[in-house]
Structure formats: C-alpha cells, structure tokens
Amino acid sequence: MALRACVDAGTQEGVFTVAAVAFGYDRAVKANREWERLLKSRTFHMTDLNARRGDFEGLSNPEVDEIMVGVVRILKEYASFAVAISCDASLVADALPVVAQKHPDMEHLLAAMRSVYGSMCHFAMTALGISANKGGPGRQISYVFERGDEGQRGLRSYLEFLDDGVQHHRLLLNSYSFRQLTITPKDEIAGIFHSSDFLAWEWSRHVDRHRKGQAIRRSLAEVAGSSTTRENESGIYLGNGAKVYCRHFKSERIRALLGYFSESLEATSGDEVDAAFNRYREDYPGPGIEASLEALKRGY
C-alpha cells in the first residue's frame, strides 16, 4: 500500500502538536477533487477559518459550518490513518538533548531531537508508521513537510542521512514506514493534505478544553471515531484504535523519553544505551522505542 502523508505542526495555549494524515494515492486524488470544490480554491488554515480572516474573511456562520462538515466527511471517507501527538512545549524545553558523541549516527539524531518540533515529529511518525506497517511489510509513506517550521532543517538532515541502506538505519526508517521525504511551501501543498492542519488545531484545542472540563468538539469526535477521552500513565488519549490516534504526553512521560535519548546520545557503548533503555522501561514498560534502541546500539 502506497500512502502519502502531510505533517503539520502548531501551538495553541502552550500545547505543541504535530499531526499527520495519510491517504492512499488513488483515494487522495478523489478526496482532493472534493476538497477543492469545498474550499473554492482557498488555502486552508484552521486558525484563519476559526477567526474568519485571510481567505475566510467575511464568511457567514452557515458557510463556515458547511466547510467544517465537508472537511470532517472527507477525512472520514478517504483518509487511511491520522495521528496527532502533542506536549506542553514549555515543560519539555529544558529536557531536550543537547550533547552527542562525535559519531555521525549520534550527531544526526541530535540534530533532529534537539528541538520540540523534531522530537515530536519523531513520535508522530513512529505512531503513523505503526498503523501503516500493520498493512504489510515495506516502507509505505511518502512524507510531505510544510517548509519553514523551526527545527525542520535538523530533522531533514537526519532523515536524509538515514536513507543510505545501512541496516540499523533501515530499522528507524521502517519504524516510520518511511518511503521518501518532500519539503514544500504551504501554498504548493495539494489541498487535501492541509487536513493535517485541521487535526493539529482540533487536537490542541481539545487538550485545552479537556483540562477545563469542557466537552469534545463534535468535529474532532467525528474524525476520531470516539468522544471518550482516556488518561493513563502516558497522558491523554483519543482515537478509535485503528485509524486515528491522538496522544498528549504528560510532562513526566515526555521528559522520560527525552531523557532516554539524551543518555543514549552521550553513551560511549551499546551497554550504556542498554542501561538507559532499562531505566526508562522500569517506569514505562511496553512497546514503543525498540527501533531506536537497536539503531543506537548498532551505531557503535
């Protein structure tokens, strides 16, 4: 199965979110036709639509409702997978990796992980890759990134470095179901792929609303296939278990994850990487970062 996914990042109320929505190529073509008819050649930006500004200035409430209903319907009918991963950016900034061994593997991973953007893209791409890989072997997702996000240069360098055929690099690319990478200006991205902007905005808004005890917006509930927000040791979760996965990391969990990467990047042997992994696993058992463990160990 060949998929194309656009990755979008944004911040609302201090909640930093990376979202990605993947479409099969044939379904993307059909979805995009409907999207263009719905948006009438406007470049979609959820913040502008909500504020009635930019391309959406002067729209009436019924017109905005029509767009929202149409976007939700298109996503439900045509999207293959969707993920949104978020954190409270101010609470993790001081936990980001800052030092790495003088080794190409470690230096490139540090370049990707030293920003909130790069770190959260790693977790979002891993979540999307897990869903895509259930459909069969082979790297399936062609990723499209909107040009200009802070931290993007380091992430791009890291992904291009991994795409060299080395076995332990393939482990990481496999975990993302990574096929290829494109960096594109927002106004050149096909309309349907701006649906990731919709999901990033809706999820950030929901995290804030959930904390205030407010109900989920119907638009997000319809896309997620659930109106029940759950909480566990990792944080807040919403989704239907198959197609849509939305996660807001608790500060303790994301700091522990970043601590594992920081320790691993400074490690001088595979044994030290193992030790960092085991310390993380004592508090957070279960699957999730094995690909990074094996890749880091084999980097020595």
Mean pLDDT over 257-275 rounds to: 89
What are 152-167's pLDDT values in tens digits? 999 999 999 998 888 8
The confidence score (pLDDT) of residue 51 equals: 94
Is residue 290 predicted with pLDDT exceeding 80?
no
Q: Given this model, what pLDDT does residue 285 score?
A: 64
- Would you state the pLDDT for residue 8? 94
**HSE-CB of 128 using CA atoms within 13 angstroms:** 35
Residue, of 223 and 269, whose pLDDT is higher: 223
- Statement: residue 176 has pLDDT above 70: yes
Q: Which band of pLDDT confidence, cut at 50, 70 and 90, is reported for residue 68?
A: very high
Average pLDDT, the chain: 91
pLDDT at 288 over 70: no
- pLDDT for 266: 92
CA-to-CA separations, 231 to 211, 235, 250, 253, 262, in angstroms, rounded: 11, 5, 10, 13, 26
Instruction: Examine the pLDDT at 52 and tell me if it is beyond 60.
Output: yes
pLDDT at 38: 97
pLDDT in tens, 209-259: 999 999 999 999 999 999 999 998 889 999 987 799 999 999 999 999 999
CATH topology of domain 3-250: Nucleotidyltransferase; domain 5 (3.30.420)
Question: Is residue 68 a contact partner of residue 76, using CB atoms and an 8 Å limit?
Answer: no
pLDDT score of 164: 86
Evaluate if residue 300 carries a pLDDT over 70. Answer: no
Per-domain residue ranges of the chain: 3-250
What pLDDT score was predicted for residue 168?
83
pLDDT band at 283 (very low <50, low <70, confident <90, very high): confident
pLDDT at 35 over 80: yes
> Does 63 have pLDDT greater than 90?
yes
Residue 75 to residue 196: CA distance in whole angstroms: 10
Q: What per-residue confidence (pLDDT) applies to 292?
A: 64
pLDDT, residue 166, reads 86
List the structure tokens of 229.
């927000």
| pLDDT tens digits, 145-154 | 999 899 999 9
Model confidence over 74-117: pLDDT tens digits? Answer: 999 999 999 999 999 998 989 999 999 998 989 999 999 999 99
Query: What pLDDT does 145 receive?
Result: 95
Q: What is the pLDDT of residue 205?
A: 96
Mean pLDDT of 16-40: 95
Six-digit token string for 123: 């977790």
Q: What pLDDT score was predicted for residue 274?
A: 85
Candidates 132, 144, 96; CA nearest to 117 is 96
Q: Indicate whether 136 pLDDT > 80.
A: no
Q: Give how far Cα 61 sits from Cα of 35, 65, 67, 68, 199, Å.
A: 19, 6, 10, 10, 20
